[in-house]
Structures are given as structure tokens and as C-alpha cells.
Amino acid sequence: MATVELTEANFEEVVASNGLVLVDFWAAWCGPCRGFAPIYDQVSDLYPDAVFGKVDTEAQPGLAQAFQIMSIPTLMVIREQVILFSQAGALPEAALREVLEKVGEIDMEQIRAEIQQREDAPI
């Protein structure tokens, strides 16, 4: 599957309408970003049910700021509208595949219960 360009205009819709969304925050001038791009594209072919999105931090500074992106590339994995993984740095293919496998194994009911517990806790 080809990667999808994520912008401030479509980001929320893409995340809300897809169960698993990977987000690669990148920029054209970034050497490690350019090195990671073919790996990201290649792995996207192995996971057709996931959306592999890319945020150009130069063109979409609002998204980069909203997610407090301090270095690129940064990979974020969102499952059922919950950020489960966020890490700066390019990953090798095996590590990216491992992240996807582990994210798929997470019990989302338990995650939602933990989130609710934190929201209900007194400050």
C-alpha cells in the first residue's frame, strides 16, 4: 500500500476512520528521513489493513507542534485513536515490523480502562 500524505485538513479524519495508523514525521532535507522512507514504504505493503501516513513537518508545522515533534524522523503508531508508540529515529525493517506486531497484540479494552481510570483520578 502506498503511503498517504497527512495534513492538518485530513489528519483527524484518517485517524478516526482507520483502526491502525502509522505516522512518519519527516522533512525533505533530513538524511535519516530519506533513508527510512523506503523501509516505511516496503513495510506498508506487508500491512494492507494499516494506513501508513507521512507528515511533512515543513509543510505541516501545526501538526508537528501539536505532537511536540522535536526531532525527525519520528514514528508514531495510533490504534483505535490511541497513541501506543512514539519514537524519534529511523527504525530498521525488522524493528518496524516488531513494533507493528506488538501493537497488534495490545488489549485495547485494557488500555481504554487505564485511560478512563487516569481521567477519573483526582488531580
Residues tagged active-site:
30, 33
**Residues with Cβ < 8 Å from 37, sequence gap 6 or more?**
24, 26
Q: Would you say 85 and 76 are in contact if contact means Cβ atoms under 8 Å apart?
A: yes
Half-sphere exposure (CA, 13 Å, Cβ side) for 56? 8
- DSSP summary character for residue 72: S
